Amino acid sequence: MNLTQVTIDALAERLENAELQREAVCMITEEFPEMDWEDAYAIQGAIRQRKALRGGRVVGWKMGLTSFAKMKQMGVNDPVYGFLTDYGACLNGTAIDSDSLIHPKVEAEIGFVLKHALRGPDCDIAKVLAATDFIVPAVEVIDSRYKDFRFDLKSVIADNTSAARFVIGGNARSPEGLDLECLGVVLEKNGQLVATAAGAAVLGHPARSVAMLANMLHTRGGHLPAGAFIMTGGLTEAVAVQPGDQINVRYQYLGSVSLRFQSNRA
């Protein structure tokens, strides 16, 4: 680690305030180029602690930058992880308050819920499937706290991988008998097709994203407990949304997830 605890705490406060006050900030590696991976996850951990002290709860994990489409869009090429908060959870069909976000984008994702704990270092697709209770379709609303949604990997890890809101919908299904690689996904905005994908868009198989998460958590002394909810990462490019936009994502086998964005400003 290259940053002091004082700097880590100050950066966590800066990024969390950017979220709470909806004001984008400059990428933090510009000011602290010496920041390393452990510093980045330590800042994310300090944000998590700040939320916990205020009574916030962590309700899941997320992997990010797990598809080629996402890596290409953001100009980075390694998966990262973050956490999901209780206040981020929104109901299927809900209107999301655009005024509470800076510059939201939506991502179609596949969610896993575990029935058994998963521990690294040797998790693989088979172990993940054996530990999975059910698969759910989900949409993540990301909202980078950085100006113009521009960042490098360390900065985005510190910013809890742009996590903001998420919606679980459709039908939960056991992974047994589901072809997760071929699982088709159709993303529509305002009734128009904007992106399509198959499950294999995420690291060749979405369960590989969960395995990678368990292995990454292991390197920092963590694991995924039974009951854990995990979002495996956007299958397509993220789609920018404005107030008034309606999003509908249809999943093969799993039903659909929909949400809209609404502003109360005049």
Examine residue 143 and tell whether it contacts Mg ion (CB under 5 A): no
Q: How many residues does the chain have?
A: 266
Q: How far is the CB of 7 from Mg ion (least distance, A)?
A: 27
Can you name the residues that pair with 106 across neighbouring β-strands? 141, 239
Write out the H or E segment, with its range, that includes residue 128.
helix 125-131
Q: How far is the CB of 18 from Mg ion (least distance, A)?
A: 19
178 DSSP 8-state letter: -
* Window contacting ligand OOG (CB under 6 A); options: 46-54, 61-69, 120-128, 193-201: 61-69
Q: Which of 16, 19, 39, 107 binds Mg ion (CB under 5 A)?
A: 107
140 vs 143 by CB, closer to Mg ion: 140
159 contributes a contact to Mg ion by CB under 5 A: no
Report CA dihedral (139, 14, 242, 91) to the nearest 10 degrees: 40
DSSP codes, 141-174:
EE--SBGGG---HHHHHHTGGGEEEEEE-S--B-
Q: Which is nearer to ligand OOG, 50 or 150 (CB)?
A: 150
Q: Binders of ligand OOG among 198-257, rule CB under 6 A?
A: 233-234, 238
The DSSP letter of residue 94 is P
Torsional class of 75: left (φ above 0), alpha (ψ -120 to 50), beta (otherwise): left
Window 94-113: residues binding ligand OOG (CB under 6 A): 107
Residue 23 or 122 with smaller CB distance to ligand OOG = 23
The residues that touch ligand OOG, with contacts defined as CB under 6 A, are 62, 64-66, 70, 74, 107, 140, 142, 144, 156, 161-162, 233-234, 238
Judged by the rule CB under 5 A, the positions of this chain that interact with Mg ion are: 107, 140, 234
